[in-house]
Each structure stands twice: as C-alpha cells, then as structure tokens.
Amino acid sequence: MDQPLTVSVPAPVPLGPKSILGRIVTDPRITFTGFSAGLLQLMHPAVSAAVIEHGEFFKDPFDRVYRSVPRIVASITAPDGAERARQVRDYHRDIKGVDTHGNRYHALDPEVYWWTHMCFVWGFLQATEVFGHRRLTEAERTQFYAETVEWWRRYGMPMRLVPADLETFLADFDRRCAEEVEWTPAAEFAINVSTFRAPLRAPFDLVFGAPVTPVVRLAMHGTLPPVVRHRFAIRWTPADAVAYAAFARAVAHTSRFVPTTPTQHVQTFLLRRIGARMRLSSDAIPA
C-alpha cells in the first residue's frame, strides 16, 4: 500500500452540477449505497477509531452522514467547490489518535483519506449502476472517473495513490476489500444498528420509522461486495438476494418519475429520523 499505483492520472476536468459526478451526487439514490460505502469506510482501523474517539458515533451513528454529505456534495457542485473541498479536508486536521492495534493514525494520512474517497467513488458508481434506470456508457464511465480524480485533486492530497483509469481503480478497490478491510468496532456497531429495531418514539414513525430498519439492512448488506459479506460472515440468504433485486428494480423504475428536489428533502428528513431513533447507548445493541 505504500507504493504508488501509477503516476499517470486523468488531466484536470471541469466539475459542477451538470458534470456526470455532479448529477450523481445530487441524486437521492446515493442514499441506498451510502450505507454500504459508510460501512466499508468504517472497516479501516483508523476511520473506526476516529469516529469513535472524535464524535458521538455510538449515540448517533448516522450523524456523520447527514453532516458531511452536504459539504462533500458542495465541494463538487458549488461554484467555489475547490475552496469547499479544502475546507472539508481541513476539518480533519485535528483528528488523530491511536487505533485498536496500538498504531497512531491521522485522518489526513493520504492512505486513510484515499480509502474514504475510494468508498465514496465506488458508492456513487454503484448508485447509478444498481439503482439507476440507465447504466453509464463506457465513455461516461471514463468521464465519471476523470471527474472523481479532479474531485480528489481539489483536496490538495497526493496524487501518487490515484490509478490511471476506472478499471484499475475498481480492481484495487476489490483487492482491498478482499485483503485489507477489517472487522472493526465501528463496523460491528453499524451492522448491529442495521438489524436493530429501535422503539417507535413519535406518531409519524409508524409511517416513516417502521420500514426504516429493513430498508437500511437490505441496502447496506445487499450493496456490499460479496467478498466482504463472505469474509465477515454477514448474513445474506437467497431470499435476501431476491428481495434486494426487487428493491433495486423498484427504485430504478420509479425514481425516474420523482422530482429530485422534493426527494432530497425526504431523504434528509429520513436520515435525521433514523439518527434520532438510533441515539442509543452502545450496550443497547444486541451482541
């Protein structure tokens, strides 16, 4: 992991709301791959330690999601996106400590930051390929990857880790999933949250809250790379696979008819309701 993968990376390209990456990150369907992308991020020991030591992860495991995602989206789509990307990077300057292996970590270690970036890129691509009603063409996939490289370039982080093309990127992502990710305390807690039914605390939870946990579990577990489910014995049955396929088809076929802006408001509302229902002490989750 210490050796650069390549020195040849895509040249700078424009970003913004009309770029392929910009359209994907403002599509509410990224919610459905966000759970698995977040779980994969937590499978890095430094990320696991950071969210536990520098936040209230066990009280509100989704707080990091609905706080950080709007800032990350703005770093891609806003007119001052490059400046916003540097601000996102600088939020991590004081996040450091010692992980469960006794190794010192810093959130701005290029390897740590690159892994979280890889998970976002993978999750955004999955969102459009699994839950979108039209797959990207090869030319669009190439453009999408060039735009994710430009997004990384905005952070001012080293380019030595960046693969030359999407195929190499995905191969390295798969290798890390097969060989390097770990079953960390934060990952274990997130998996438990996805299968735990918190008490209903408000009347509208009967409408919005009751189906939340099954959907979170299906989206999180189903979108995970199969090698990760296998390595860590994450339960996934043939019935789950059928339900996930039906869920993905339903989202793909219906979302094309739903206006984006109102759906984004619903998405934000649901994330906050999930967070409110999951503000639990760590021993409230069954082992």
- pLDDT (average), residues 10-32: 89
Among all chains, which residue has been given the structure tokens 């996102």?
A: 88
pLDDT higher than 70, residue 246: yes
DSSP H helical ranges for the chain:
20-25, 30-42, 45-53, 63-77, 81-90, 110-130, 138-154, 166-179, 185-195, 205-208, 212-223, 226-231, 238-255, 260-277
Instruction: Sort residue 102 into left (φ over 0), alpha (ψ -120 to 50) or beta.
Output: left
Poorest-pLDDT segment among 59-63, 218-222, 279-283: 279-283
> Are 89 and 104 spatial neighbours (Cβ–Cβ below 8 Å)?
no
270 vs 47: CA distance, rounded Å: 25
Q: Does 9 fall in a domain?
A: no
* Cα–Cα distance measured from residue 194 to residue 215, given in angstroms and rounded to the nearest whole number: 9
Residues in the chain: 287
> Does 58 reside within a domain?
yes
Residue from 160, 162, 122, 159 nearest 144 by CA: 122
Q: Has residue 11 been placed in a domain?
A: no
Domain presence at residue 46: yes
Is the residue at 25 inside a domain?
Answer: yes
Residue 14, in any domain of the structure: no
First CA to last CA across the chain, in angstroms? 33
Report the range out of 45-59, 67-81, 139-153, 237-251 with the highest average pLDDT: 139-153
Q: Are 30 and 24 in contact (CB under 8 A)?
A: yes
The pLDDT of residue 46 is 96
Tokens of 140: 């669009």
Residue the block writes with tokens 């999930």: 274
4 falls within a domain: no
User: Tens digits of per-residue pLDDT, 104-142?
Assistant: 999 999 999 999 999 999 999 999 999 887 889 999 999
In the structure encoding, which two tokens stand for residue 268, read together?
């934000």
Residue 93 lies in a domain: yes
Q: Quick check: 226 pLDDT over 80?
A: yes
Using DSSP's 3-state secondary structure scheme, residue 80 falls into: coil
Cα separation of 123 and 242, whole Å?
A: 21
Tell me phi and psi for residue 134, to 5 degrees. Answer: -145, 125
Phi and psi torsions of 104, nearest 5°: -70, 145
Residue 18 CB: number of other CB atoms within 10 A? 9
β-sheet bridge partners, residue 105? 97
Nearest to 184 by CA among 35, 1, 49, 34: 49
Contact 274, 62 (CB under 8 A): yes
Could you give the angle at the alpha carbon of 188 between the alpha carbons of 180 and 195, nearest 5°?
Answer: 130
Percent of the chain with pLDDT over 90: 55
CA distance 48 to 187: 7
What's the total number of domains in the chain? 1
Phi, psi for residue 106 in degrees, rounded to 5: -140, 135
Domain with 229 in it:
20-284
Do residues 45 and 182 make contact, with C-beta atoms less than 8 angstroms apart?
yes
For 78-112, how does the pLDDT look when each residue is reduced to its tens digit (9 = 90+)? Answer: 999 999 999 999 989 999 999 999 999 999 999 99
